[in-house]
Amino acid sequence: MSGDRLAIEVSNLTKRYGEVTAVRELTFTVEPGLITGFLGPNGAGKTTTMRMLTGLVTPTAGTATIGGRPYHRLPRPSDAVGAVFDASAVYPGHTARDHLRVYAAMGGYPDRRVSDLLNLLGLAEAADRRTRGFSTGMRQRLNLATALLGDPRVLLLDEPSNGLDPEGVLWLRGFLRRLADEGRTILISSHVLSEIQQLVDNVVVIRRGQLVAAGPWSQLAGPPAVLVRSPDADRLAAALAADPSAGAVARVEAAGAGRLRVCGLDAPDIADLAAAHRLRVYELVAETPSLEQLFLDLTTDKAAARCIA
């Protein structure tokens, strides 16, 4: 299975616990060769969905498949899927090497795979230390090593950067990008949106167990706006609205005293129009929406102003 490109496909997935619906008719696809961020507020249903993907939770309705098969029907599941859900799931009396050897034996993998992963994950120097003394970041690396024992084509990672220092976060970003470039399918749940923005290709955003958006995050966020600082802001707004070419595409919003947010035009077009009307402009700054703002727009009732395609 090492050469396979396995997509994750979730279709009308639903999970109810009595009268509580944790996941409701959820549908999305995670493509191979990409890193997809799985985002939502606490209690949105992310962990329940990931556990349904690995057979730890049984769906009430719908399907969750990997390479077209439910997890329990994969020939050797740990060869296909590696999952990290809990950074504390390590026996404190074991060394890192002991921990990996136990899981290697369970999966039928040779001891040399353990040594390879200790080196690959930067744990070689700590291999024979008891894990009770490990930092959260070191536990994250150890759990990632465990997930990679079968050299899986799919990775499901819950908060993988939690506890990592800045150097560790940078390392993780490069490491996961290399895995994706090999054609692996990577789904990451995280609350560290500033980090996710630098890491992911696509996002899947859910709220109250339902899908609210899916796709490349930059496209979901819409086009950039231009922030304009001008002592003639009111007159510039009126000129933009009245101009036959600009008024058809531009949307202008007040952004504070002497400031405008203009959507639909780029900075040179705004500058040219201001110059044509002899209006003063002191500053033009492109404002690219952040993933954090997109997340808040999609998952809260009060959305901040931004450009929407």
3-state secondary structure of 259: strand
Half-sphere exposure of 164 (CA within 13 A, CB side): 21
Distance CA 75, CA 72 (A): 8
Q: Please give the order of strands across the beta sheet that includes 283-287.
A: 251-254, 259-263, 225-229, 283-287
Average pLDDT over residues 10-14: 97
Neighbours of 245 (CB within 10 A): 10
Residue keyed to tokens 């050797």? 76
pLDDT, residue 50, reads 95
- What is the pLDDT, as a whole number, of residue 124? 94
Tracing tokens 């001891």 back to the chain, one arrives at 111
Asked if residue 216 has pLDDT above 60, the reply is: yes
Query: Cβ(281)–Cβ(240) under 8 Å?
Result: no
Query: What single letter denotes the amino acid at residue 187?
Result: L
Output the DSSP codes for 108-145: T--HHHHHHHHHHTT-GGGTTSBGGG--HHHHHHHHHH
Q: Collapse the DSSP code of 256 into the 3-class scheme (helix H, G, I; strand E, B; otherwise coil) and give the result.
A: coil
H or E element: which one contains 50?
Answer: helix 46-53
Residue 289 has pLDDT above 80, yes or no: no
Helices 233-242, 267-276: crossing angle, 10 deg rounding: 100
Contact in structure between 239 and 275 (CB atoms under 8 Å) = no
What pTM value is reported for the model?
0.81
pLDDT tier, 2 (very low <50, low <70, confident <90, very high otherwise): very low
pLDDT of residue 309: 45
Nearest to 51 by CA among 83, 11, 18, 91: 83
Q: What is the pLDDT of residue 298?
A: 77
Q: Which of 2-11, 143-152, 220-229, 290-299 is least confident?
A: 290-299
Which amino acid is residue 94, in one-letter code?
Answer: H
List strand residue ranges (DSSP E) for the chain, in order.
Answer: 8-17, 20-30, 35-39, 61-66, 81-84, 154-158, 185-189, 202-207, 210-216, 225-229, 251-254, 259-263, 283-287
Q: What is the mean pLDDT of residues 190-212?
A: 88
Domain boundaries defined on the chain: 8-217, 225-288
- pLDDT tens column, 147-191: 999 999 999 999 888 878 888 889 999 999 999 999 999 999 988
Q: Is the pLDDT of residue 56 over 60?
A: yes
Taking 50 as the threshold, does the pLDDT of residue 53 lie above it? Answer: yes
Reply yes or no on domain 8-217 having CATH 1.10.10.10: no
What class, spelled out in words, does domain 225-288 have in CATH? alpha beta
Cβ atoms of residues 221 and 291 within 8 Å:
yes
Q: What is the Cα–Cα distance from 253 to 32, expressed in whole angstroms?
A: 40
